[in-house]
Chains A and B, each alone.
Chain A
Amino acid sequence: MNNIKEKLKALPPVSWMLLLIIAVFSLASPNYLSLSNFRNILIQATPLMIVAFAQTCIVLTQGTDLSLGAQVSFATVMIVYLAKKGVPLFAGMIVAVLLTVLIGSVNGIIVAKGHILPFIATYGMQNIVNSVSLLLTSGSSIYYASNVYRFAAESTFLFIPVMVWIAALVFVMVWVVLRKTKFGTNIVGLGGNREALSLAGISPARNLIKTYAFAGFIAGIAGVVTLCRVESGQPTVASGWEFQAVAATLLGGTSLREGKGGVTGTIFGVLLITIVKNGLNIVGVRSVYQNAIIGSIVLVAILIDAVIKIRSKE
């Protein structure tokens, strides 16, 4: 019994907020509490979920990667662009993911070796990558017909869409890396105490570069998943996701200081953002108000967290 209490306490405050919001929407709309809607929410949440896992790794190192959204868009564009040139879809996917790993590595090198603030370095990268995507597509969406998209987006395994399974796999991968590998230990150390890493003979710079490359790898996967959902290469499809991913990460209890947190909380953060959006649509709130409402929720959640922290200090 005590054990359960402990576990409940360990849940980030955002999970309670999640329940509250679901309750509010179910009262506001009779259509809300249905299995199909929840399936919908999961599918809607998937691409952002994957990006947020990548962002969580970066936030753990006290950074933010503002190029993640651009990397996702770029991956969708690259795959379609290559397919139109005759490259098989799967080969194109691998190439796209390799390229996002490369982009991530460059981010990491600039941050680690150039001692540039992460948000500045990655903001520069965001613009560069966006330009490349726009050049490849002449500024509009590009198409390449295939059944692969539908398979990933619509077929299910054990009643759960394949896309959601992919997100789950990415989650397991990141969780295992953070908890069960040396690399993951070093990610937590990068945010917590770089001096301790150096003293133990670990190179902070090398691990920082690896972390950004890892985030690029995950963003590449998010790009593949996004392509399957939108069925086209869109140069701006994921613009702004990097910020939503930061918000979700912080909502999930990962802190920009001390390497505190992890990917489990991020799931709740992403669900919160997605559920609010979905609910506002169902209830019929005009889209001009939606952003303001989501922004307020993010601020309130983070403020609550900050207040709890200040209280516990005193």
Chain B
Amino acid sequence: MGKTILTAQNITKVFPGMKALDNVDFDLQAGEVHILVGENGAGKSTLAKVILGAYKQDEGDVFFEGERLTLSGTKDALAKGIVAVYQEFTLVPYLNVAQNIFLNREHKTKLGFIDHKKMEEEAKALLKSLNCEYINVKSPVKKLSVAEQQMVEIAKALSYRPRVIIFDEPTSALSDREAESLFSQILKLKKEGIGIVYVSHRMEEFPKIGDRITVLRDGKKIATIGINDCTNEELVNMMVGRDVSQVYVRTQNDHSGEALRTENLSDYSGKVKNASIVVNKGEIVGIAGLVGAGRTELAQLIYGINPIKSGKVYVNGNEVEVKSPVNAKKHGIGLVSEDRKKQGLALGESIALNTVSVSLKKIFPRFFMNKKKIYETAKQNVEQLRIATTSIHKPCKFLSGGNQQKVVLAKWLNFDPQILIFDEPTRGIDVGAKMEIYKLMDQLAAMGKAIIMISSELPEVIGMSDRIYVMHEGKIVDECKRGEFTTEQIGSKMLGIGVGGTKNE
């Protein structure tokens, strides 16, 4: 292990409504793989983006080879030899593999035209060093599989001859064989003295490549430890552990009768595989799992957004066909989607209009709308949910995340669904608003509504749910009742530990 090449000191980054990074220190040595772990929203990606210059930190400094870094964008980082392999692909679909690898650094012939032959040769050599010589460098990347695209992305990063590489969950799209060849490539890079930051959820990978681990939680650094100095259980503890008794208050109530049941649901994309769940009236059922485990996709099947490939859905014991959201609403199903800005709200419209948007037919059974009635409804909602706003006519885009989420909830309260699915209901909002949302969920359950709660934040799922299903790679891998589960158990199930043999068949 060599000298320190990159140091981040006291990094703080604030987004509207939340502190994404809070006084975080981080350092990277030449020839080291430094693993960054934490729950979704813990600040891993934000830290990576600060190092890459994609975000400007509000406080703190980054030093690279002894010099203070002042990056005005990823371009500067690339010039310094700091590159990233992103989770979301940064490839142009209808340029070929070689063109993508050498984007903005195209080789030219003497006449000044692009030298495809030379680029293709070099791309071939790069891919060969990754054991991916089967990828046709002349093919548009659109025609490649996701795994192949990931390898192209990695080849592109390597072509910059980097000093520091940041991998953001690079194996999530790879098969075992491809992952193994990636690891051997990473070990090779390590030997060459390159510093590697490796962001990942997959604990089974850590001992294969890692040297040190830094755990982030809620934007704070919890610890930096040597790879052999802690057990998996300790890691999970550090990632999720916090006092959950205060925030989550649940009233006891009866779970009388089944409200929703799915039988062996599968979708066309293969993200949901034979998922069977039951939700009773008055019950909050949590669905735990990592991002990409198929939780959102399951919700979208139940709500009719995506077509069901096989399996059945029962509402109140009767088989129903949910062909579309309109259809799902008719059966009394509602969905608070994970992306309130894109799917939950008409951002440019007023609070008032948003609150009635799903229940127009209910509020106005005749053809015309009545403004007075809309305003009355909205005023009630604002009071009931304590939405902080100066006026019900304010466009939603001017509200904070927490208040926006409350408007989404108000919208569904007015519709009064019997089954309500919450997909990441507290993402990106502050603790105060979170607690109010928890309280509301509890009230809804007490009123006999059936509630499904999807969340990446384990403490929240554990704190709120009467029962939890754990999803891993599209399958329901575990089910447990309140009082029977511990954070560590569910945490390791989410990560696929003890599930066995399900990884990337």
Contacts and interface: CB of A to CB of B under 8 A. Distances in A.
Given A182-B106, A193-B90, A195-B90, A188 B95 contact: yes
B95 A192 contact: yes
Nearest to B112: A181
21 contacts: A179-B114, A185-B114, A188-B92, A189-B92, A189-B95, A189-B103, A192-B92, A192-B94, A193-B90, A193-B92, A196-B91, A196-B100, A197-B103, A198-B73, A199-B90, A201-B75, A202-B104, A259-B92, A259-B93, A259-B94, A260-B93
B355 interface: no
Contacts of A135: none
Interface centre among B74, B99, B103, B114 (most CB of A within 10 A): B103
Interface string B81-105: 0000000011111110001100111
A196 B114 contact: no
A9 interface: no
Contact of A185 (B75, B90, B95, B112): B95
B74 A199 contact: yes
Majority secondary structure of chain A interface residues (helix, strand, loop or mixed): helix
Contacts of B191: none
B134 interface: no
A154 B89 CA distance: 52
A196 B92 contact: yes
A191 B114 CA distance: 20
Interface centre among A198, A201, A260 (most CB of B within 10 A): A201
A192 B93 contact: yes
Given A197-B103, A201-B75, A182 B114 contact: yes
Nearest to A195: B90
A258 B142 contact: yes
A185 B90 CA distance: 15
Interface of B: 73-75, 78, 89-95, 99-100, 103-106, 112-114, 116, 142, 268
Given A201-B75, A201-B104, 10 more contacts: A176-B113, A180-B114, A181-B114, A182-B114, A185-B114, A195-B90, A196-B92, A197-B104, A200-B75, A201-B73
Contacts of B94: 188, 191-192, 258-261
Interface of A: 176, 179-182, 185, 188-189, 191-193, 195-202, 258-261, 314
Contacts of B91: 193, 196
The 4 closest A-B pairs by CB, nearest first: A201-B75, A192-B92, A180-B113, A200-B104
Contact of B90 (A182, A196, A259): A196
Contacts of B105: 200
Contacts of B114: 179-182, 185
B166 to A, nearest CB: 13
Contacts of B99: 185
Contacts of B113: 176, 180-181
Nearest to A261: B94
A181 B93 CA distance: 18
B74 A258 contact: no
A201 B102 CA distance: 12
Contacts of A196: 90-92, 100, 103
B432 to A, nearest CB: 34
A298 B78 CA distance: 46
A189 B103 CA distance: 9
B93 A193 contact: yes
Contacts of B100: 196
Given A180-B114, A258-B142, A200 B93 contact: no
Contacts of A185: 95, 99, 103, 106, 114
Contacts of B93: 192-193, 258-260
A179 B114 CA distance: 8
A199 B103 CA distance: 10
B95 A200 contact: no
Nearest to A202: B104
Given A185-B114, A258-B142, A202 B103 contact: yes
Contacts of B95: 185, 188-189, 192, 259
A266 to B, nearest CB: 15
A119 to B, nearest CB: 21
A9 B112 CA distance: 32
B376 to A, nearest CB: 37
Nearest to B90: A196
B356 to A, nearest CB: 29
Contact of B78 (A176, A191, A201, A261): A201
A200 B103 CA distance: 7
Interface centre among A182, A198, A202, A260 (most CB of B within 10 A): A182
A189 B94 CA distance: 8
Contacts of A195: 90
Nearest to A179: B114
Contacts of B73: 198, 201
B156 to A, nearest CB: 9
Interface centre among A181, A182, A199 (most CB of B within 10 A): A199
A55 to B, nearest CB: 18
B270 to A, nearest CB: 13
A195 B87 CA distance: 13
A262 to B, nearest CB: 9
A201 B105 CA distance: 10
